[in-house]
Amino acid sequence: MSRGREIRNIACLVSITISRIMAEQKVTQRGTPVARVIELVKSLTQGHAPESSWINLPLSPHDFKQLAMHDFWSYVEDNIRFDYDPVAEVLTFRMPSPIHEQLTALVVGEILQQLGCLREDTSTSPTAEIARSIRWSASTSIRFDDLGLSTRSPDASFYFGDGKYPTVIIETSFSQKRHDLENLAREYITRSQMNVQLVVGLDIGYPKPTKATVSVWTPEYVETNGKPYFYAKKIIDNDPFRDIYSPSTIFNGMLKLPLSAFKPQPQPHLTLETKPAITIPYRVLSSFLEMAEKHNRNTLRGSVKRLPPGIR
């Protein structure tokens, strides 16, 4: 059986299971938090396009626990990206666009390529040893200990060794969700107890990518009246790397990811060494976005090689 057919069959079974749950528990009253979540999941498993790329639904911790106990929730965890904040009592479903996913993949690919070059160093230099201990993970859920139920699903993350939390996270968002990205960066850093040491946010605009920017957050440690505090400091604030309304403008900046950010640093006085670093010039980020847009156009209107007549 093909992978596509297998996924469709699983989605069909999940849809049937959800319908049974709704009937058994009489979750039929529209407007209730649980009903809205179940109806949305059912709609997604049936292949219906969501209304938005980022859907926030109110849901209490008790209701979230009840949903997570059902068999269909394992399908949700494996196939649908979501965040849950038990303090705000909000369940967020993320529906990344093809452009969104392709750009993230290209950036991750560039980082992995540069890490690969560092790993090839046959010496026992600290740089090579660090590079060999870094592992990439795509859309793996992060669960924070401080709140138990708190769950986040970043676009891409890099772990060091056997660490529970990633040290570097990449998020790609649309301009209309810039506020959500700010909150995510802060939560990644503070709720991980500064184990997340660098968050990169790529803002590609919406609904059509026009002006694209990059932001970067790192932990900052301060003392106020003798008491220690740490917070997420935005060290790069919406730096543009592409503007289609100003095609002649060349953005000469560069995204720099210090290798020290990938390795857990001594706390609380965390200091990231600037060299060596993974570097991606803004012109390269711009070309990656153009490639993602072209890929999306091809999937919609690209050429298709047809089989000769009579062959099925």
Ranges assigned E (strand) in 116-270: 134-138, 142-143, 151-152, 156-160, 168-173, 198-203, 211-224, 227-243, 254-258
Q: What per-residue confidence (pLDDT) applies to 106?
A: 96
How far is it, in rounded angstroms, from Cα 257 to Cα 259?
Answer: 6
How far is it, in rounded angstroms, from Cα 55 to Cα 151?
Answer: 15
For residue 109, give every residue at least 6 positions away whose Cβ sits within 8 Å of its Cβ, in sequence order, or none.
Answer: none
Q: What per-residue confidence (pLDDT) applies to 4?
A: 47
Annotation: CATH topology of 98-301: tt1808, chain A (3.90.1570)
Q: What per-residue confidence (pLDDT) applies to 267?
A: 64
Digit-by-digit pLDDT tens for the chain (312 residues) are 444 444 455 455 555 555 555 554 554 455 678 888 888 887 877 777 777 778 888 999 988 888 887 777 877 887 788 889 888 899 988 888 888 889 999 999 999 999 999 888 766 678 888 899 999 987 678 888 766 688 888 999 999 999 899 999 999 987 556 677 888 899 999 989 899 999 999 998 766 667 899 999 999 888 888 887 888 999 999 999 988 777 667 788 999 999 989 998 776 556 666 778 999 999 999 999 989 988 888 776 656 667 677 776
Per-domain residue ranges of the chain: 3-94, 98-301
Q: What per-residue confidence (pLDDT) applies to 269?
A: 58
How far is it, in rounded angstroms, from Cα 132 to Cα 248?
Answer: 40
Q: What per-residue confidence (pLDDT) applies to 222?
A: 82
For residue 200, give every residue at least 6 positions away whose Cβ sits within 8 Å of its Cβ, in sequence order, or none.
Answer: 168, 169, 170, 171, 214, 215, 216, 255, 257
Q: How far apart are the first and last CA of the chain?
A: 17
| CA geometry: angle 207, 200, 300, nearest 5 deg | 35
Asked if 76 and 41 touch (Cβ cutoff 8 Å), the reply is yes
Q: What per-residue confidence (pLDDT) applies to 102?
A: 92
